Amino acid sequence: MSDITARYRLDDRVALVTGAGRGIGRACALALAQAGAEVWLMARTRGEIDQAAAEIRAAGGKAHTAVCDVTDTPAMRKAVAAIPVLDVLVNNAGFNIPEPFVEVSEEHLDRLLELNVRAAFLAAQAAARKMLESSDRKNRGGVIVNMSSQMGHVGAVNRTVYCLTKHGIEGLTKAMALEFAPLGIRVLAIAPTFVETPMTKPMMARAGFAKWVEERIPAGRVGQPEDVAAAVVFAASPAASLMTGSSLLVDGGWTAQ
């Protein structure tokens, strides 16, 4: 009988995580390394990814850093091209600016579309090109994990642009999955609920907001970055080898209502 736990390992695999300096991205980078992957951490802030990479190395893992703003397409493409071999992309970099629909400025609309959609698309494209360079790709396999949200499945007040971008990521995931399945590359989305991160901290600090969120999550708590990272490791691992085009909801039951 084969050891089922071995299918959750990522030994001899190379993973790239965008937005890896903090929050969900950082947790994903650490978790992938714990599962045996050699990890490349990409973010704008050198100090943050250097610290995370040092933590991985101190635990016996392999880590590299790439200081890059994913919205700088030439720099992002150059950084991805510099990775010798790539097996896993965690397409995580993203942002949100909650505000009423009628107050959304063109500047905010463009900013979210640029990062959450355009940069995510181009990062996935660069990663797919790198993966296809491997002459043994069909046997080796490859995985692109797009970071979506529960807001890619439902609507929400004051989050029209964010919902727009994450619904786009869900559609991108499905279309990419169909195109790359014959080539041995799987494409999945991870869709978290509200997670305690530096990005959500200001929202959670507002009077009554955290209570409002928790009351709408049947599991009774907001997510932690490690909850999402665990789903990412599963999605990237051979344990999920028959999964592609799917969205893994890590939402405590929010979208089941």
Q: Give catalytic residue positions.
A: 162
- 8 A C-beta contact, residue 189 and residue 246: yes
User: What is the C-alpha separation between 132 and 85, in angstroms, rounded?
Assistant: 10
d(CA 119, CA 93): 8
Do 14 and 21 meet the contact criterion of CB atoms below 8 Å apart? Answer: no
Instruction: Give the amino acid at 50.
Output: D
State the Cα–Cα distance between residues 212 and 155, nearest whole angstrom: 16
Tokens matching residue 48: 């943050």
How do 247-250 and 185-192 pair as beta strands? parallel
